Amino acid sequence: MFDDCTPSSSLQVQYKQDAGAWITLGNGAQSYNWTPIPPGNHTFQVRVTDGDGNTSYSNICSFSASKIQFMGYMNVGLALMDGDTIGNYVYSTSGQLSTGALYTWIRKYDPQSNSWTYPTTVLQPRKFHQVVALGSRIYSIGGYSGGGLNSVEYYDTVSQAKANVASMIHPRYYHASATYNGKIYVFGGVYDGNWEYSCEVYDPTIGPLGTWSEIASLPTSFGLQGEPCAVVAGSKIYVLLGGGPGVRVYDPAANSWEYKWVSGAPGLDNQESGEAWTMNGYIYAILPDRQIVRYDPISNTLENLCGYNEFNCPTPYYSAGAFVNGKFYYWGNFDSSYDRTVVEVGI
């Protein structure tokens, strides 16, 4: 809908949901003031009026709120951060503001009340980092702050304590991470402008600060680009959305890598960012081109569940996201406006 139209000060943009009244966004408005949408089937339409009084209407789009809901806004626009889930809450740390400054707070989102709180500040502001949950702790791993970081810190959601732990062996940003069997795994990334193929695992039970150890590196023939995602399915860790078609599969037991070319999977081809999660044995991903896909790791097949370019929601481009209570939430966007919208996705 008006994907090629950039509103200017001479244009009035309005939208209408279902049989509601037309809502004016104001002259030159670039984004919609979304509110939570009730479950069920809905329609949506946009109209634009120019300075001469000529009005153009979009097609009436149908959508199901059971898949995508707009939950409202954060208090600031953020990007280049990450998030994860503990209990019924979603946490994210740091990130970058639209001014270019690094954000210093830890954010806590309650999907049930659709509200944000800010428990404390981080020890080291960072961007392009990874956030994972292990036990009651949220770990912020690596990232960038004037240079690549190897530092790792945690915030304990029960005791409210925060502390640094052992640093990674290699500084990195744009990396992927996941937890499996009580350990944190980190894959690839970038350091000093070069692709980093090394991978590491963190064991919090070894030593007073935990210990990082090197594991099998990513083969250079299928290294990562952009900001990939890592998710656990069964006994393996799947790394995807890192550029190029296919999925990279790490086996912790064998300490080995396998590359799976996914036949007919343009959705995974050269996607440098996005969000992914697992549910009922499948891997789901929201791509920067605004598709929702489902990957079956057993049959190595990909299914396109929802192409929503016709629905003008923010894309998950260098955003943060986490899965909680059967639904996935993402927020923030690395675009010109650092979108503040919170999006809920239910499959």
pLDDT band at 39 (very low <50, low <70, confident <90, very high): low
The C-alpha atoms of residue 248 and residue 60 are separated, in whole angstroms, by 40
C-alpha angle 252/303/229, rounded to 5°? Answer: 40
Provide the edge-to-edge strand list for the sheet that holds 341-346: 68-73, 341-346, 327-331, 320-324
What is the average pLDDT across 75-84? Answer: 84
Domain ranges of the chain: 12-64, 68-346
DSSP string, 114-138: TEEE---B-SS--BS-EEEEETTEE
pTM for this model (two decimals): 0.79
Amino acid letter, residue 297: P
CB atoms within 10 A of CB 31: 16
pLDDT band at 5 (very low <50, low <70, confident <90, very high): very low
Please give the CATH superfamily to which domain 68-346 belongs: Kelch-type beta propeller (2.120.10.80)
CB atoms within 10 A of CB 51: 11
CA dihedral 211, 214, 215, 217 (to 10 degrees): 150
Tens digit of pLDDT for each residue in 248-261?
A: 999 999 999 998 88
- Quick check: 39 and 66 in contact, CB under 8 A? yes
